[in-house]
Structure 1
């Protein structure tokens, strides 16, 4: 298996792999939550809320999807997902750089307050704290973060 990967825009045929990767990465980050029970909701959200409204850049290696980032027209980064075995390899940095290229005026995002790893990652990538909120779906406390060009 090679250590290099390439970036490209999302294609409709990536849907199943993207949703499976989304599920697997969130399950790794939050093992106490049963994400398998949410797959139908994720698929619906992907099809109705994310794909029609966002630019999606994917990272692939040897023909397999290993990450993706979604940024909507208002500069909201909804999802940054990287396969757990690729955490710490630079894939996420490349995807965030692509998100910045897609939304050069700035990016906002919400991150779970208990996801210290993600918060540190965004801070290292120039994002600043911009308030607190509660995720309307999960009820979990989140931080609003933003990057300005």
Structure 2
């Protein structure tokens, strides 16, 4: 069986529906008790109004299908790193975090839900350290602030 082909490229407006669908599917699996389908209109507005204009967005495609994305703004804040559930454990997460580090070589900060042990472990594995506890300003959920410095 041939090895899948993973490509990183800049986000295009035509990626919006696939990126939003991937966000919803991924977060729904991570937090099944929350109705992420009901949050899609809010997320689409946030995506269009906050992330697309202010962040660099890089998508990962596997064999031409969107499999993940990362958003990073000029301050080095990583708002989203989403990898489709069928790609968890694949190189896609590492490739996206490495790309974020390339785009923000002076450092990266992010917030991760305190109960998301999988994500926290992923960031630790990729050189991020805990930088204190916080509260997500949007959801009100407890989060860990994490930081990567070169």
Scaled to the shorter chain, the TM-score interval is over 0.9
Q: Does the 8 A contact of 1:23 with 1:36 survive in 2?
A: yes
Q: Does the 8 A contact of 1:133 with 1:142 survive in 2?
A: yes
Count of paired positions: 149
Following TM superposition, by how much is the alpha carbon of 1:2 offset from its aligned partner in structure 2, in angstroms? 4.8
Aligned to 2:52: 51
Note the aligned Cα RMSD (angstroms): 0.9
Aligned to 1:125: 126
2:69 is the counterpart of 1:84: no
1:1-149 superposed matches below 5 A: 2-149=3-150
Relative to the length of structure 1, the TM-score reads 0.98
Q: Does the 8 A contact of 1:2 with 1:61 survive in 2?
A: no
3-state SS, counterpart of residue 146 of structure 2: strand
Structure 2 Cα separation of the partners of residues 122 and 9 of structure 1: 22
Q: Does the 8 A contact of 1:59 with 1:66 survive in 2?
A: yes
Following TM superposition, by how much is the alpha carbon of 1:147 offset from its aligned partner in structure 2, in angstroms? 0.2
- Structure 2: unaligned runs, 5 residues or longer: none
Following TM superposition, by how much is the alpha carbon of 1:138 offset from its aligned partner in structure 2, in angstroms? 1.3
Moved over 3 A (4+): none
